[in-house]
Amino acid sequence: MKRFVNRKSILSVVVALTLIVAFTGGILLRGHSASAASGPTTKSKFCSKLGKTIQASAGAQMYCFGAQPNGPAIHNRPVARTFSGNVDAANPAEDVSPAGVQSYGQSETSIAAASHYAVEAWNDATTFFTNCGAPQNKEEGTGLGFSANGGASFTDLGGLANAACTQNLYVGDPSVEAFTSGGKTYFYVSSLFNSTFSNTTDARSHIAMDVCVASGQGSTATLSCSQPIIVASSSECVTFPGPPPLTFCSFLDKDFLSIDPVHGLLYATFTEIGLSPATVDREELAVCDIGNGALGGTPAAPVCTNGASGSQASPAAPYLVVAPTDPNFCENMGAYPAADLATGDVYVAYEHNWGTALFTGPCASEPVQGVMNFIPHSCLTLPAASCSGPAVVNAVNIVSLQGAFIPGYNRTPSNHCCMNDFPRLAVSDTYSTVSMVWNDGRFHLAGDILMQSMNLGTLGNVTGTPVVLNSDRGGWHFLPGLRNVNQKGQLNVSWYSRASANTALTDVTAAVDVNPRTKATPHNILVTNVSSDWNAVSSDIFPNFGDYTDNYTIGTTGLGGGSRDFVAWSDGRLGDPQPFEANTFS
């Protein structure tokens, strides 16, 4: 059995150079070619620990392991169609390298919408076989599709714009947010953004985003994207004398966005995997001025807190540390934000003790938890936060699925574990609640989607025992999506579902118009019209269908105050994981 090395001893301040190198290996991307991806001289020592002593995101898997083989064919099972359309937001015919290599795997999706526009983003396997300067920015690990007809069809735009791809690359874990201001619609698409081996001046890891402006109607509509804007950067670097000198910086992982359009602010949460005991698995919050005025940002040109500031020689401190390193170095991961549009407060949830709970040591007896944090608007001043952390914290113990080997789901090349229980959340001012959803095994071995609602501000428990959202109890239920509420303040939650625990045939199911204060299981709607057999889908990406899904709700006009609910997921019906979308009115 593989065991975790004692993280406290590894990361002690008295650790020798060799151990620091062994932990980080310098967070530098490979030279961008298929052959380099597997070469032992280019593989970071950070990557050598991934799946063994640490766990990290799908973006980190792409960065570390490159393309991975994963099976041949497909078996489909038609089911009733209840959502309008199951639309592929990508085009498999464009997932081909300049040399003519077909890639397999567009997964880990995020979506946002405004008016008749929608943008979906995903991890894109074409990056593994494509060099910098390829058409449509195909060398980037984050792809995107654009719809100008409310999600009825999408145009695959390739990768995020990045002219300086010899220096830094987008490497996946996308998040999308939307903002309408001054008669224009903006989409913010963030992702991991890390240095290549060609970058000899800056080894920092970043979260970056393209700002994309939608315009026009129908077939003439366009989405024009900016060059990368740095949202956050490593707050810790260590340089050792050479020759040549070697610099290692902390790794930023698993970003997600939330927007406060009322106050003109965009928030990003992420995990900093640091070099010292003070920065290991630290959950952090960054903020961008998109019209607030305090930093001089605009919707088209945001200015972010610790993004443009700082350097490799003098890294900028985080804007706000949501959760410090655990004393036992039990891993925190999967931070997720939600802004309260009425007050400007921000809520951040994350999973505590993910990965580390599987092995011996103190984390084997420390509870796995979904942790909710309340950060009042008064704290979120610019350019620096006026507090040192959350005002209120509440945690929910989880019966984790991280030890489950779910049929057809591969997590890492080394040990093919672990399902995550990352929470998703949304604020409802109508019901004065913040609700957290996650997958959990307490009532059913193959997992349920549970919801825990808390009072705004105080985080007092509203629903008592967590509410089961899935109405069927026969199979697996995992990776829920939840972003915001409809115009009635209700929740729309979606997730992967299986009719049986003994099958890899997978659908997507949703519970729409959920009262966040309910204590009863709501009605479920099937989203997919074809099931995917994930034991028979070829993918170059680990995990093959990503480690999160997404949904997004917008208000509509002419529908009696209703909402349009978008769902995004990775779908295997073509034998090649693709980023699908469906939507419905509620």
Average pLDDT (555-577) is: 83
Winning range, highest mean pLDDT, from 69-78, 240-249, 373-382: 373-382
Average pLDDT (88-94) is: 95
Give the residues across from 269 on adjacent strands: 256, 285
Residues with Cβ within 8 Å of residue 108, at least 6 apart in sequence: 58, 59, 122, 123, 172, 173, 174, 541, 543, 546, 547, 548, 570
pLDDT digits 0-9 by tens, 305-350 = 876 688 999 999 999 999 999 999 999 999 999 999 999 999 999 9
Enclosing H/E stretch for 60: helix 58-65
Range 517-533 burial, b when 16+ CB lie within 10 A, else e: bbeebbebbbbbbbbbb
Rounded to two decimals, the pTM is 0.87
- Percentage of the chain beyond pLDDT 70 is 83
Q: Check: CB of residue 539 under 8 Å from CB of residue 104.
A: yes
pLDDT digits 0-9 by tens, 287-306 = 999 999 999 999 999 999 87
- Residue 420 Cα to chain centre, angstroms: 12
pLDDT at residue 494, rounded to an integer: 98
**Phi, psi dihedral angles at 22 (to 5 degrees):** -65, -35
Give the residues across from 582 on adjacent strands: 567
Question: Which of 165, 110, 111 has the alpha carbon at shortest distance from 141?
Answer: 165
pLDDT over 90 at 443, yes or no: yes
pLDDT digits 0-9 by tens, 344-394 = 999 999 999 998 999 889 999 999 999 999 999 999 999 999 999 999 999
pLDDT digits 0-9 by tens, 10-46 = 333 333 333 333 333 333 343 343 333 333 333 455 5
